[in-house]
Amino acid sequence: MHDDFLQARRVLDAFLADAALLADADDAANLLADTLHRGCKVMICGNGGSACDAAHFAEELSGRYKGDRKPLAALACTDVGHVTCVANDYGFEFVFSRWVEALAQPGDTLIVLSTSGQSPNIVRALDAAKAKGVQTIALLGKSGGPCKALADHALVFPGQTSDRIQELHMMVLHTFVAHIERALGLA
């Protein structure tokens, strides 16, 4: 178990040593704060554990984070009815893109979570967001896959395993919420 903690610390240290990645994270946080300041919404999606992280992030914006404040417009693509309907009728690769097509408006921001950047449904979501005039942030891992080139802000985190990458994703999502609250004068 001790080795797991040391491995987690190594990938966190690698992230903190990457000035360009930290600057990209700041830019993404500023985009999110600006999106919400303008009265637009933040949308977020991911597969598996990343779907859980998407839901967690959205509830911390629409519900609360550390203290009471007004709710902020955020939603995650985790509705089982939507996901199973689209997967059954169109194919799993369309579950996020159809959601973006239905709900996204110009001025919104879409965050995608993918430890590989390879998931066809995430790629399609980024394409759908571009078509709708929506800014995109991708939290990725490994090489970043095709998502790296498709996102307006692609953050490729160190680590070669999903667990370590997802831990950094969630940590950064928490820092996004804290930044948004400070930037909007809600903290």
Of the candidates 118, 29, 125, 40, the residue with the CA atom closest to the CA atom of residue 77? 125
Q: What are the pLDDT digits (tens) for 135-160?
A: 999 999 999 999 999 999 999 999 98
- Residue 49: pLDDT band with limits 50, 70, 90: very high
Question: Which pair of structure tokens corresponds to residue 86?
Answer: 């689209």
pLDDT above 90: residue 187:
no
Mean predicted lDDT score pLDDT of the chain: 97
pLDDT above 90: residue 163:
yes
Cβ-contact 161, 10 below 8 angstroms: no
Lateral strand order in the sheet of 42-46: 74-76, 42-46, 109-113, 135-141, 153-157
List the domain boundaries for the chain: 2-183
Region 63-69 average pLDDT: 94
Q: What's the pLDDT score for residue 149?
A: 98
Separation CA 66–CA 54 (nearest Å): 18
Separation CA 28–CA 157 (nearest Å): 14
Separation CA 171–CA 5 (nearest Å): 15
Q: What's the pLDDT score for residue 127?
A: 98
Q: What's the pLDDT score for residue 83?
A: 97
The domain 2-183 is placed in CATH, from the list 3.40.1180.10, 3.40.50.10490, 3.30.450.40, 3.90.1150.10, at 3.40.50.10490
Percent of the chain residues past pLDDT 90, beyond the cut: 98
Separation CA 45–CA 51 (nearest Å): 6
- Residue 1: pLDDT band with limits 50, 70, 90: confident
Q: What's the pLDDT score for residue 174?
A: 98
pTM of the full structure:
0.97
Separation CA 128–CA 63 (nearest Å): 27
Q: What's the pLDDT score for residue 88?
A: 98
Q: Which residue has the tokens 């939290």?
A: 139
Region 104-111 average pLDDT: 98
